Amino acid sequence: MNRHIAVCSSLFAALLLSACLSTEGDGAAALSGAAGATQFGDGSNEARLSAATDAVRAVTVSDEELQAVTLQVVAEMDNTNQVAPDANKYAKRLNKLTRNLGNEDGLELNFKVYITDEINAFATADGSIRVYSGLMDLLNDNELRSVIGHEIGHVKLGHSLAKTRTAYLASAAAKVAVSEGGLGAEALAELGEKLINAQFSQAQESASDAYGVEFMRRHKYKLPAAESAMRKLAKLEGSSSGSKLFSSHPGAQERADEIHALITAKKK
Ligand SMILES: [Zn+2]
């Protein structure tokens, strides 16, 4: 079995802690990253200048600019991935599961299925949530709901926007976008890759897991599904068919245990 398991990006990367460049903050992470680059770089003036420029941009790029970029990136990703048409069985299933979530928790959300064997799902800062058919094959309806709730958490808690800021600033695109007033398809695709592959921090994943459990509670969905979804992913994490992402970013088992504690805790 050779299918690619990329879990997480936004969401499930959850499983995969770390590599995430982005952390809680906004500009601060990118700023310290830039400083690090200067420290460990080749010491050339050019490298220093570039790092300094990134650092300045980190604190000046506005949320509005990031949201505008996000819309372009999502449009490009929808364009290049195989989006399930309305009549497709996956689209029908996701539509049924998300019908009541158009305005969830004050967010304007939209949902689409990407037809691919990859096991993944992600959310972007504008409220676009994309679920891969490979993940839908793995999970039952309530488990999928818990993943969706987790993704919504990343949007609601500002993680998606923070990650976009980091990815945007790290991309060559950002440096020309301002002066040229827009991004080309290639730059958007590159940024999309970064958004999908960059991981959230462990703290962000835990916070989104907790949000996901609250989401399940709020809608009166079956809480144990949140744990069983994570156990299924944990199983993949431990198998040889898991991608290198899994081996370098363990943690699904621990997260499943945390979720277990959350769902068995007494209601306040
Ligand atoms: Zn996540």
Q: 53: CA distance to ligand 1 center in Å?
A: 30
Supply the pLDDT for residue 238: 64
Supply the pLDDT for residue 186: 81
Supply the pLDDT for residue 175: 61
Supply the pLDDT for residue 263: 94
Catalytically annotated residue among 151, 190, 205, 227:
151
Q: What is the mean pLDDT of the chain?
A: 78
Residue 21 has pLDDT above 60, yes or no: no
162 band by pLDDT with thresholds 50, 70 and 90 = very high
Supply the pLDDT for residue 178: 52
Q: 226: CA distance to ligand 1 center in Å?
A: 13
Q: Could you give the CA distance from residue 201 to residue 85 in angstroms, rounded to a whole number?
A: 33
To the query of whether residue 143 is one of the catalytic residues in this protein, the response is no
Residue 16 has pLDDT above 50, yes or no: no
199 band by pLDDT with thresholds 50, 70 and 90 = confident
Least confident of 100-104, 133-137, 162-166, 238-242: 238-242
Q: 91: CA distance to ligand 1 center in Å?
A: 22
Q: 178: CA distance to ligand 1 center in Å?
A: 30
Residue 244 has pLDDT above 60, yes or no: no
Q: 179: CA distance to ligand 1 center in Å?
A: 33
Residue 39 has pLDDT above 50, yes or no: no
Residue 192 has pLDDT above 50, yes or no: yes
Supply the pLDDT for residue 172: 62
Supply the pLDDT for residue 140: 98
Least confident of 70-84, 188-202, 242-256: 242-256
151 band by pLDDT with thresholds 50, 70 and 90 = very high
Supply the pLDDT for residue 229: 94
Residue 64 has pLDDT above 70, yes or no: yes
111, 129 Cβ separation under 8 angstroms: yes
Could you tell me what percent of the chain has a pLDDT over 70?
Answer: 68
Domain residue limits, the chain: 12-264
Query: 4 vs 45, which has greater pLDDT?
Result: 45
**Mean per-residue pLDDT for 180-194?**
78
